[in-house]
Amino acid sequence: MPSGIVQSIEGQYAIVEIKRQDMCGDCHACDAVHEAKECTLKCINNVRSQVGDLVEISLDQQIFLKATFIMYGLPLAGLMGGLGIGFLAAQLFTQLPSELLIIVGAFAGMLIAFLFINQRDKRNQYKKMLPHVISIKNSTS
């Protein structure tokens, strides 16, 4: 099980910084944000951990795959769908630059996907996909 240090508490959630795990595989999403091999996760704080605690977290593999699809797959699907719609619009409106219509369609499709994800996140519909803090390994407070 991955473990990390609680950085902050936000209501019923613990913000935990973990080191890059073997389960991350070739993801390297942490590298895109910063050079360090650390990642910050919002976790459901089942054990009432405090800032500075070394905690163990758990996330079901199936839930991890669903969350990965939502984070990467839906925006990609929006991008591809927008490309298709932009291409069709370029065929209908021949007086406008076709490349511009395709690019605008692609960005619009991706924006719609991001807005869809953001709205569901605001309504806590992804709460069941969050990792859980399952134990405190040691307490520094």
For residue 76, the model assigns a pLDDT of 95
Which residues contact residue 74 at a Cβ distance below 8 angstroms, ignoring those fewer than 6 apart? 113, 116, 117
pLDDT surpasses 70 at 21: no
Q: Give the model confidence (pLDDT) of 108-139 as tens digits.
A: 999 999 999 989 888 877 777 788 888 888 76
Q: Give the model confidence (pLDDT) of 30-61 as tens digits.
A: 555 555 567 888 888 888 888 888 888 887 77
Query: Is the separation of the CB atoms in 109 and 78 below 8 Å?
Result: yes
CA 65 – CA 58 distance, rounded (Å): 14
Percent of the chain with pLDDT over 70: 84
Pairing of strands 54-58, 132-138: antiparallel
